Structure 1
Amino acid sequence: MPYQTAVTVQAALPPDRVAEVREVLHEAGPKSTAGELFPFAEIPGIHFARVVLVPEGPGGATADMPPSVVYMSEVDGPVEAHLTDLVRKAGDGLDRVFGHCAGYPADGSPDAARIDWLRSHVVPCAAFYVNTVGRGRQQIEQEALLREAIEEFLDRNGPALAGRSPVEIRAAVQDHVSGREDLAWARTGPAPSPLGWRIRRAAHLVGVPLAGLVLLPLLAGALPVWAVLLRRHERRDVPDDARPSHDRIRELAGCEDFVAQNPFTAVGSVKAGPFRRITLTTVLFVVDYGVRHIFDRGDLAGVKTIHFARWLFVDGKRRVIFASNYDGSLESYMDDFIDKVAWGLNAVFSNGLGYPRVRWLLLDGARDEQAFKNYLRCHQVPTQVWYSAYDTSTAHDLDINARIRAGLFGHLGPAETEAWLALF
């Protein structure tokens, strides 16, 4: 069972090259496949991948916030191995989008030069959410195959199995699976994640709370001061009442609703001053701990439709990029967040310029539904190149497939066996 990594490569793009790169991305291919220019399907371990153009920030390139091209992917295993595979399989596509960026290796350069350049432009995540930690792409594909094979067996043998008890039907399924060499892996559970990764994860799980206990006296003294400063800043905040134009909505919609999942990419400016920057850094540190160790089994505080999500600082922590892969439409995605975790949206995004007015970091804000949706659409950027390795499967499907595998062999009582059969 591998671990999952968020890979982000960002490089500044000369303003006079933006239109050219945008055209390249437009030509890259149909959504969810990324076409021949970026053959992501041939790269092992990729769950999702995208290439997007991030517009220049307030003040433009002269304010050291130039436009940039960003590659993002969610992969199994370490960053270094993925960059190597990426260059070998998608070198032509990388050349066409990153080739306009300063320092990119010239034509004819060895793969090692491209890998070094990409590595030097990797941006770490401030927080990274994985729907189910440790569930790799190979496991997902295998469990989908297992479910399909069992459903086909049950459909084909429905009359013969009619009248049998759930225990007998499950035994027949077990015999069928055991007789297929291509499903031999289903007799055992997924392999554990690498030991070193599990040790680091456990150390982080324990180490952060221990550090918090050590710093508790200092934090307790600082909290009242921070609260006073927070309310002072919140009273001065000016919400942005801009609405996305019809052309803007049409452009964004052109990158959505092709398959069972959708990508979301947004970029926004952090409110000026060290207070907001420090507050947001702290909030995302807490978010990262929570999604690593608490919300790591298919449920992000009640939202169950997200496969992956990440938050990262760019432009010297003056801007933040948020990117996710989710099931269903954007409207239902936003409604889900507003209804179930508006306080979490406020804690993070209220530090962004123009966000709907918030009280005490957690209150109001996203509760103003239309203002929040306008804010998101105004900060969303088109995800022109996007790939999904399993674009017909929702997060719920993946969970059902995993439960089918887990319950196929081993001891189940009569009630558990009946519940297992109800999964089909």
Structure 2
Amino acid sequence: MNKLFIAFFLFLLISHSAFSQSQIITGGWVFDTESKSFKKNQGIYMINGLFGTGNENITNWQVRNLKDDDYILPGFIDLHAHYRISHEGKAFDDTVAMPKIFLANGITSTFPAGEIEPDKMWALQEAIDRGQRPGPRILHSGPYFGTAAPDWDQEITEDQIRQRVDEWAKRGAYGFKAKGITADQLRVLIDQAHKHDLTVTGHLNSGYRNSVNPQEAIEMGIDRVEHFLGGRLLADSIDAYQSLKQLDPADPRLDEIIQLYIDHGVYFDATLATYGAIGGVDSPVFFDFAFEELYYTPLADRVIKANEPSAFNELCAQIYPVKQKVLKRYYDAGGLITVGTDRPFLLDNYLGAGIGGFFIHRELAAMVEIGIPAADVLYFVTQQNAEALGIADKAGSISPGKWADFLVIKGNPLEDITRTRSVHTVVRGGIIYDSQSLKNAAKGKLGPVE
């Protein structure tokens, strides 16, 4: 009985670290997404889970004071947030450790970019919304559209695709993810999603073996593209990964596909750092600042330590410097960039060190390392990600009427982007969480069990 009581007490401590209907946060510095700079915090008002103006007729404000070295950022939005774990050919979405780790790192909203078990993820979101579990907002993508979905029928009809979109749109999906899809199927998906004012993102290819090149998808009206810019420089005679390895980032023809993105207002989620992690690249970006093995289950820890380097690890090590130069060129041209971690926990095909929630800080640092200013990178992971998903009226900045989501770190990240790793407080919907308590609750729980 004592153990049950202690467990229940700890749950309450983590799930409702601090909540009041009306709160004021004073002190510290706050990131202004319009000027992309920090300003002295004159008071952040939170009322019933939303940011307020301070002009509300409220007399019983609860006041919390921050220190002068505290820096406040709008809640991070991860547009490629995998909850997926796989082992021995079986895949499942983790609802135990991943939600806590995402939230502990300041990620207050996640777009799963394809769910293996969408019903399970919906149940998780409902439990989080009821305050029964700590975690970020799950901005559902529903199931994959394409062969990445366990239930995908390659002979699926146009009507069935439209019905699949309608079903998940009705349930409240925020957008859809295509992977392993044909051009005809993608065209239908985009058309039907847009009828619901929902966006579509895609993990596409080079055009090899009936796959879709991003250039073709952009002409169809896709909203976001992941991993590969595409275009004529990706030879359709080989897979995109192999083609990218051979790409010359200085090739003038790259301007064509970059301009196509700009002309159509399409966002590019490069998932840059994940390729460096998979490739085992030696860079301070990939320093294990969190001692991540502490979060693995004993079985996951043994499997990871027994892993041998694969051909894919070597391939990603070759791809990474190409992606770095391509992304910088895309940025310099004015292309729209989003931020996503893309870190499924695949024990059968190990993707190198880096758990999704912690990895957001590596993705930000990887962008700064190639010459993108920290101010822009922080804008991408907040306001620009919100705009890309179509939720800028709800998230992305600390503004009246939006979700009361933010994180507090130590030190100015514009001077050193790695300071985002120092998250100590996270607020989601007006509920204040202690980051370390969330992390402690996730230790030893990530991965399959015996």
- TM-score normalized with structure 2 length: 0.26
- TM-score normalized with structure 1 length: 0.27
Q: Which structure dedicates a bigger proportion of its chain to helix?
A: 1
